[in-house]
Structures are given as structure tokens and as C-alpha cells.
Amino acid sequence: MSDSITPRQQEILAIARVQGRVNVEDLAGRFEVTPQTIRKDLNELCDRRLMTRVHGGAIVVSGVENLSYEARRLIAHTSKRAIGEAAARLVPNNASLFINIGTTTEEVARALVDHEGLLVITNNLNVATLLYRHPAIDVILAGGPVRRADGAIIGSAAVEFVRQFKVDYAVIGASAIDEDGALLDFDYREVRVARAIIENARRVVLVADAHKLDRTAPVRIADLREVDVFVTDRLTSAPLRELCADHGVEIVEVGETPIEEA
């Protein structure tokens, strides 16, 4: 492997940053090369820890900046939908809950539409849009600055708003999960809201797909031991599984996402 990535690999990275993931066959057609050539490119990018292989292609890895919100929606979409449905089944009718920002937490909201008697408090404009029309669900939206990139309501006003409540459940996401159990994100202002949500809920449900274990982010939200239930597609990390066992964190796995062989 050369010391620098090739122009084609640079373009593959650029496409992945916009789209969230890239597909081997699509890239082969775009660059007019064989699928084997693209797989070699992706393997080299993965060896440099710039990308992570997934079924049929790869996703970008970033430790300093987040992917675009629309790009994140495309990553592990089927798994996120299954995670959302499983997490929604943990919430009974006539419960109160926080739902914070994230593409996976939005899938939980989408799966809650048939519940009755819910009070949902959120700093996620997308969650509010999904739920406010349903007559059996009351929605309270936090106040404060709206992050244009994803509809997150962040900042000190949102933190103080959240602290007025004590709810039954908190449904939270994370951009990355470290091997030591640290739940990580990119924006300190968002993390402050997430911390307040965790501190003011009786039961905390973490929703995150397996790709979050392959990523990193710079800001600590909390630790996995502060979670009551971890809903994911698959948990292959032995240290994290042991940590959950040691601290009584229930693991709910909804199914494995296949990873393409190199």
C-alpha cells in the first residue's frame, strides 16, 4: 500500500462523506473499473481507518466531524428501523419519555405512533413532526436554538427546560461507543442536553447500531453503565458485553447486519 491515497480513493471518500455509504457496484460503474478494483480501494481505505466495510460497500469513519444528517439516515437503515421497533415495545402506554436527537431515536418515535396516552418531551424537531398529529400522544418541544443541520434544539435553554421534568423513560442515541463503555458525540451543546435527559429519567434506553462501535467522537455523553437497556442490531464486543453484565444493563439484539468479506 502506498503512503498516500490515490485520486480515485480521495473521490470515493468524498462521495461517502456526502452519501453516508458507498456501494461497490455503483463505484465500479462510476469509475469504469472492475468491482475487484473497488474492493481493493475500499480495503486500503479501511486499513487506514478512513472507512469501515459493510455489506456491499463501506461507510466513512470520522473522529472529528459528523456525517451529514441525511447521510446518517442511509447507514444501517434496516437495522435502525428494527432497533426502533424493539425499543418502542419497551415503552408501555400511558408513559412519559424523553427522546433526543438522532436518526435511530427517530425510528423509535416512528414506531410509537400506535401507543396511547404518551407524553413525549423532545429536543428533536423531526420527532415532534412525526408524533404531534397523533391524538393519543402529547408532544412537548424544548426551546432554544435550532441546529440547522439536523433540527436539534441545543444549548442552555434546552438543558434548563429538560430539568423541569422527571419522566419514566429516556430514549437516547450516541454517535460512537468506545470499548470502555463511553458514549460519545460531536457537539458539546447537544451532549449537555443529553446529560440532562439521562439525569431526569427513571429508565434509560440506549439505541445504537453496531456501526457505532467502529466510530469515534470527541465528547463524552455518559457511560454505558448509566444505561438500563441497550437496544442494538448486534453486539460483537466482548468487553462491552461483559460491562453490561457487570452493571445489569439489559441487551436487546434485533438481528445481525451482514458484513461483506474482503
- Is position 142 within any domain? yes
The end-to-end CA distance of the chain, in Å, is: 16
Secondary structure class of 91 (helix, strand, coil)? coil
Among the candidates 41, 61, 81, a domain finishes at 61
pLDDT, one tens digit for every residue, the chain (262 residues): 445 788 999 899 888 877 778 999 999 999 999 999 999 999 988 887 778 787 888 887 655 445 555 555 556 678 899 999 999 999 999 999 999 998 899 999 999 999 999 999 999 999 999 999 999 999 999 999 998 888 899 989 999 999 999 999 999 999 999 999 999 998 898 899 999 999 999 999 999 998 888 788 899 999 999 999 999 999 989 999 999 999 999 999 998 554 433 3
Angle subtended at Cα 45 by Cα 43 and Cα 50, rounded to the nearest 5 degrees: 135
Block residue for cell numbers 415495545: 89
- Is position 260 within any domain? no
Q: Residue 26 belongs to what domain range?
A: 7-61
Secondary structure class of 100 (helix, strand, coil)? coil
pTM for the full model? 0.75
- Is position 230 within any domain? yes
Whether 114 and 158 map to the same domain: the answer is: yes
Whether 44 and 165 map to the same domain: the answer is: no
Provide the domain count of the chain: 2
